[in-house]
């Protein structure tokens, strides 16, 4: 289906819709990457890619709650060179716009990963830099928790990667305004707001934490109001395109993100519930635009920001 009222360009990459499948969701099966089977999807973020292979976390990895999902995967992947050899050909054949999700490790390791990807910049047009990862060169805290470490991570990445650069922020930061401005000043082309929240679960039969690492990433409908608030704050702080991510599971959620200032949205947990969610969201958005006689979705971007306090 053609979504003329929804199509746009994001960080230089044309998208048929503003609905992006978030990292960690989509396998590398050929039929799943075929653009003819992805009605409503504007782009896909790959699973995490690091410099070397990572085994991920041991023990329980996924735990369902009454209002969302906890995961402790540990960024398991086979490394950038295996990605380029085995996954990239599948992605290329499918013809979908995509962003490679890059694990922010040490400066050196991350730059090596990006240099390897840059050798295929005829195919790979954009990356999504995950700065929720711990800074092993520093205090062990996530790169994205402070403006200073955010600036360091983004600047180091930009120095070796000339394509489109999305930076995925962590909701654990204490200064979203400062972090957003630091990412912008250091070379980010767009911001993804945000990664998973920290949560936990306790096994009441064994009287111990469910996850070996105690805490896990929490996602799903329960975090939507929190993610919407962060999107609002970041859009107040920066002129960069913002992709709203966190708890989006209906077209109304997606529209709320756009009204708050987002240029697009990412779907994660919702894809496990209903794999046709992108099409459902696009149908809802398109019907809303038609019903309100609005020519294009971009006319609504940030409208709520302009109307705050007006009753």
269 known ligand binder: yes
Residues written for the chain: 311
Q: What number of CA atoms fall less than 13 Å from residue 87's CA on the CB side?
A: 23
Does 262 belong to an annotated binding site?
Answer: no
Q: Is 24 annotated as ligand-binding? A: no
Task: State how far the Cα of 238 lies from the Cα of 185, in Å rounded to an integer.
Answer: 10
Q: Say if residue 48 carries a ligand binding annotation.
A: yes
For residue 47, say whether it is annotated as part of any ligand binding site: yes
Is 106 flagged in the annotation as binding?
A: no
Would you say 74 is a known binding-site residue? yes
- Whole-Å CA distances, 248 to 32, 139, 189, 239, 245: 21, 33, 23, 22, 7
- Binding residue per annotation — 195? yes
Q: Check the annotation: does 84 bind a ligand.
A: no
CB 136 within 8 A of CB 105: yes
Q: Residue 53 class from Cβ within 10 Å (0-12 exposed, 13-18 middle, 19+ buried)?
A: middle
Is 71 labeled as ligand-binding?
A: yes
Tokens found for residue 47: 């699973």
181 has binding-site annotation:
no
Question: Any binding-site annotation on 259?
Answer: no
Helix axes 147-158, 176-185, angle to 10 degrees: 20
133 belongs to the catalytic site: yes
What does DSSP assign to residue 260? T
DSSP per residue over 74-109, as a string? ---B--HHHIIIIIHHHHHHHT--EEEEEE--SHHH
In the set 45, 133, 235, 245, the catalytic residue is 133
94 in a known ligand binding site? no
Is residue 196 marked as binding? yes
Quick one: tokens of 104? 């922010």
Which of 254, 239, 248, 265 lies closest to 289 in space, CA to CA? 254
Residue corresponding to tokens 């992805």: 38
Catalytically active residues are 133
Q: Summarize the annotated binding site for substrate as residue ranges.
A: 47, 71-75, 130, 195-196
Q: Summarize the annotated binding site as residue ranges.
A: 23, 47-48, 71-75, 101, 130, 168, 195-196, 220, 246-247, 268-269
Q: Summarize the annotated binding site for FMN as residue ranges.
A: 23, 47-48, 101, 130, 168, 220, 246-247, 268-269
């Amino acid at each position: 289906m053609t979504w003329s009222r929804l199509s746009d360009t994001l960080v230089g990459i044309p998208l048929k819709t503003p609905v992006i499948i978030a990292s960690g969701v989509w396998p590398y099966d050929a039929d799943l990457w075929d653009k003819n089977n992805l009605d409503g999807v504007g782009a896909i973020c790959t699973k995490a890619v690091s410099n070397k292979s990572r085994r991920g976390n041991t023990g329980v990895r996924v735990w369902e709650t009454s209002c969302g999902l906890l995961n402790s995967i540990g960024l398991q992947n086979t490394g950038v060179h295996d990605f380029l050899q085995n996954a990239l050909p599948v992605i290329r054949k499918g013809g979908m716009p995509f962003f490679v999700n890059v694990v922010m490790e040490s400066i050196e390791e991350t730059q090596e990963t990006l240099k390897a990807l840059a050798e295929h910049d005829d195919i790979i047009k954009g990356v999504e830099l995950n700065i929720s990862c711990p800074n092993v060169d520093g205090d062990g805290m996530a790169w994205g928790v402070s403006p200073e470490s955010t600036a360091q991570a983004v600047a180091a990445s930009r120095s070796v990667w000339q394509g489109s650069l999305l930076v995925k922020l962590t909701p654990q930061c204490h200064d979203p305004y400062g972090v957003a401005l630091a990412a912008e000043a250091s070379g980010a082309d767009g911001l993804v707001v945000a990664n998973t929240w920290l949560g936990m679960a306790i096994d009441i039969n064994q009287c111990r934490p469910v996850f070996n690492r105690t805490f896990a990433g929490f996602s799903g409908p329960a975090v939507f109001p929190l993610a919407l608030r962060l999107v609002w704050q970041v859009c107040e702080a920066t002129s960069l395109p913002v992709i709203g991510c966190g708890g989006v599971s209906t077209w109304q959620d997606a529209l709320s993100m756009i009204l708050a200032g987002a240029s697009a949205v990412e779907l994660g947990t919702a894809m496990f519930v209903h794999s046709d969610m992108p099409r459902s969201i696009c149908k809802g958005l398109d019907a809303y635009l038609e019903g309100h006689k609005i020519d294009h979705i971009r006319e609504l971007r940030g409208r709520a920001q302009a109307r705050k306090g007006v009753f």
